[in-house]
């Protein structure tokens, strides 16, 4: 007596639908990873610009203190270059209740007009 095996569909391998679903999941995961890495790169660039802008502001304030000239009140604008990046410094000097001190507000803008750094300090008449 000859017994024949029952015919079952092959259970080896993946169906086309399973492969397509797996590819879609991988594609979505890769897109999310690319978007996240792009965001990290943007944040790193913004941080780099902020550090350079801070350096410009600090250099300006140190120069003011070392010059030993009491800054006159009013607004002025100057330019600064750090690591081949150009910045514009908007300086606003205001009087304080004590005439021996001035409030100095330094706003540092990059070439696109974005405020990369802002610092407010007091300079005394020494």
pTM here is 0.70
CA 75/CA 104 separation, integer angstroms: 10
Alpha-helix runs per DSSP H in 12-108? 16-67
112/32 Cα distance (integer angstroms): 29
For the stretch 11-53, pLDDT in tens is 678 898 999 999 999 999 999 888 888 888 888 888 999 999 9
Domain locations in the chain? 16-124
Which candidate, 113, 49, 105, 104, places its Cα nearest to that of 81? 49
Q: Considering the chain, what percentage of its residues have pLDDT values greater than 70?
A: 91
CATH number assigned to the domain covering 16-124: 3.30.1300.30
CA atoms within a 13 Å half-sphere pointing along the CA-CB vector of 85: 21
Q: For residue range 73-89, what is the model confidence (pLDDT) as tens digits?
A: 999 999 999 999 999 99
């Amino acid at each position: 007596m000859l017994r024949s095996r029952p015919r079952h569909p092959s259970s080896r391998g993946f169906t086309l639908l399973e492969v397509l679903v797996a590819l879609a999941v991988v594609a979505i995961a890769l897109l999310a990873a690319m978007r996240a890495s792009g965001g990290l790169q943007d944040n790193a660039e913004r941080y780099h610009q902020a550090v350079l802008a801070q350096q410009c502001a600090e250099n300006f304030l140190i120069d003011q203190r070392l010059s030993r000239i009491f800054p006159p009140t009013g607004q002025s604008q100057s330019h600064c270059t750090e690591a081949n990046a150009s910045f514009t410094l908007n300086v606003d000097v205001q009087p304080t209740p004590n005439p021996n001190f001035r409030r100095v507000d330094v706003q540092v803008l990059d070439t696109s007009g974005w405020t990369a750094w802002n610092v407010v300090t007091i300079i005394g008449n020494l």
